[in-house]
């Protein structure tokens, strides 16, 4: 099928909720993807911060192929080795955060739904607080926490009793919590909202406030987790211990998976069948996720994200000092935003012409979320392309 036919089919037969880039991607290898004409691109999108190991990583391909030949599906009413091993692994990596048990699902939004239900079950309270510019997903519960009115308003009524407070304003957070607040949902860095960093001390204050008020703190690490920011969990940068953490995106290297990782007492407040998922914790995705954790550890990829991220960010900051189009560069590790003075559509097209795929985060922010195997040479090539595109 040629590119034109593929684009026509998607245009004619998909529910038209996705704005499409004019590009048919056919395959990937490492930090590169190739379109249907064979043109190579450096992939700074990674399926929106998903392909942490890049594309076609041999460890992931091997784990998935081997597991597919053994067993793809297994209801969570039965035990299964890849699931058991992954649950143990998640407990081990989340131990420094004080978290011990996981609920496995299939996406970020489901990881948030689980956290909302668990918060209500544990606290017996009803209300939630989230932040302006925050993004937590698009199913009815998670959508209630997501801020952007254009995403939420056509679908009301959503979960009632959600308040949105200004991100970074600890006093506003303190004032918004009342005796019926079950949980506060925060991103360590607001990803979709424009790669927005927390002001110094904000997350630590949020932790203290939640503890004082008897409200749970849920940190949404769906975009910031899996090593992207230079720590396995971004929460570690800030020294905070959340009551629950949500993961998805890179957790299984591109296979669909979400995880809600919780404190022991929260897990113990749940009763059988109060929550569940047909596909959650299936052996195929669990095997993939184990391969991701193994590879991240073996190849020191968290450190790589920190090192190459700092290198890339320095290059971008140097560029920002010279170019008038750039307002600000921000982020951590390989979660980087570059705020421009005008909409980013043309920059994205210019980059694609030069063999670089990047993303937007809102109208004016260019977002770079490459695989965490990204190298300095990859970063140099992206910087060279940007240099030509940005005025």
Ligand X SMILES: Cc1ncc(COP(=O)(O)O)c(C=O)c1O
Which one of residues 57, 136, 228, 367 is an interface residue with ligand X (CB under 6 A)? 136
Rounded (10°) CA dihedral 351, 357, 358, 359: 120
Q: Which is nearer to ligand X, 46 or 320 (CB)?
A: 46
Smallest gap, in angstroms, from Cβ of residue 187 to ligand X? 5
| Closest C-alpha among 194, 264, 265, 191 to residue 234 | 191
* Distance of alpha carbon 318 from alpha carbon 240, whole angstroms: 32
Q: Which of residues 226-265 bind ligand X (CB under 6 A)?
A: 248
- Name the pairing type of β-strands 359-360 and 365-368: antiparallel
Contact partners, residue 311, CB within 8 Å, separation at least 6: 376, 379
Nearer to ligand X, 103 or 135 (CB): 135
When binding is defined by CB under 6 A, the residue of 28, 47, 82, 137 that contacts ligand X is: 137
Query: In the complex, which residue's CB is closest to ligand X?
Result: 108
Q: Residues 128, 135, 167, 312: which binds ligand X (CB under 6 A)?
A: 135
Of the candidate spans 94-102, 108-116, 236-244, 276-284, the one that interacts with ligand X by CB under 6 A turns out to be 108-116
Judge whether 203 and 242 are in contact, CB under 8 Å: no
The CA distance from 199 to 221, in Å, is: 17
**Shortest reach from residue 253's CB to ligand X, in Å:** 14
Q: Under a CB-based contact definition with an 8 Å cutoff, are residues 187 and 201 in contact? A: no
332 lines the binding site for ligand X (CB under 6 A): no
Pull the structure tokens for residue 115.
Answer: 């956290």
Q: Considering only residues 162-201, where is the footprint of ligand X by CB under 6 A?
A: 187, 191-192
Rounded to whole angstroms, how far apart are CA atoms 229 and 369?
10
| Beta-strand relationship, 127-131 and 162-165 | parallel
Q: Does 107 bind ligand X (CB under 6 A)?
A: yes
- Among 31, 144, 223, 235, the residue binding ligand X under the rule CB under 6 A is 223
Nearer to ligand X, 191 or 198 (CB): 191
Cβ proximity to ligand X: between 25 and 48 the closer is: 48
Q: What is the binding site for ligand X (CB under 6 A)?
A: 48, 107-109, 112, 135-137, 187, 191-192, 220, 222-223, 248
């Amino acid at each position: 099928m040629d590119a034109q036919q593929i684009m026509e089919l998607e245009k004619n037969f998909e529910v038209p909720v996705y704005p499409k880039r004019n590009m048919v991607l056919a395959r990937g290898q490492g930090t590169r993807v190739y379109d249907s004409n064979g043109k190579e691109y450096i992939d700074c999108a990674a399926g929106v911060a998903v392909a942490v190991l890049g594309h076609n990583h041999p460890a992931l391909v091997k784990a998935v192929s081997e597991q597919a030949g053994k067993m793809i599906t297994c209801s969570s009413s039965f035990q299964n080795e890849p699931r058991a091993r992954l649950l143990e692994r998640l407990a081990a990596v989340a131990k420094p955060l004080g978290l011990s048990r996981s609920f496995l699902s299939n996406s970020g939004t489901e990881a948030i739904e689980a956290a909302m239900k668990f918060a209500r079950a544990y606290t017996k309270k009803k209300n939630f607080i989230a932040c302006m510019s925050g993004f937590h997903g698009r199913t009815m519960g998670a959508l209630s926490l997501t801020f952007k009115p254009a995403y939420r308003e056509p679908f009301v009524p959503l979960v009632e009793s959600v308040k949105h407070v200004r991100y970074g304003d600890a006093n506003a957070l303190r004032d918004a919590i009342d005796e019926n607040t079950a949980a506060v949902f925060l991103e360590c860095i607001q990803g979709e909202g424009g790669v927005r960093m927390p002001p110094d001390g904000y997350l630590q204050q949020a932790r203290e406030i939640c503890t004082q008020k008897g409200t749970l703190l849920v940190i949404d690490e769906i975009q910031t987790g899996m090593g992207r920011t230079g720590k396995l969990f971004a929460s570690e940068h800030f020294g905070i211990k959340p009551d629950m953490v949500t993961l998805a995106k890179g957790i299984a290297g591109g296979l669909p998976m979400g995880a809600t990782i919780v404190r022991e007492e929260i897990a113990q407040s749940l009763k059988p069948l109060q929550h569940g998922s047909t596909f959650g914790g299936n052996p195929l995705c669990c095997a993939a996720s184990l391969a991701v954790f193994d590879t991240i550890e073996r190849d020191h990829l968290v450190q790589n994200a920190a090192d190459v991220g700092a290198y890339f960010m320095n290059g971008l900051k140097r560029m920002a000092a010279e170019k008038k189009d750039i307002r600000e560069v921000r982020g951590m590790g390989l979660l980087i935003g570059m705020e421009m003075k005008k909409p980013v559509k043309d920059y994205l097209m210019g980059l694609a012409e030069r063999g670089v795929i990047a993303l937007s985060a809102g109208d004016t922010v260019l977002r770079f979320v490459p695989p965490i195997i990204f190298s300095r040479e990859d970063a140099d090539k992206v910087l060279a392309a940007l240099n030509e595109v940005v005025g």
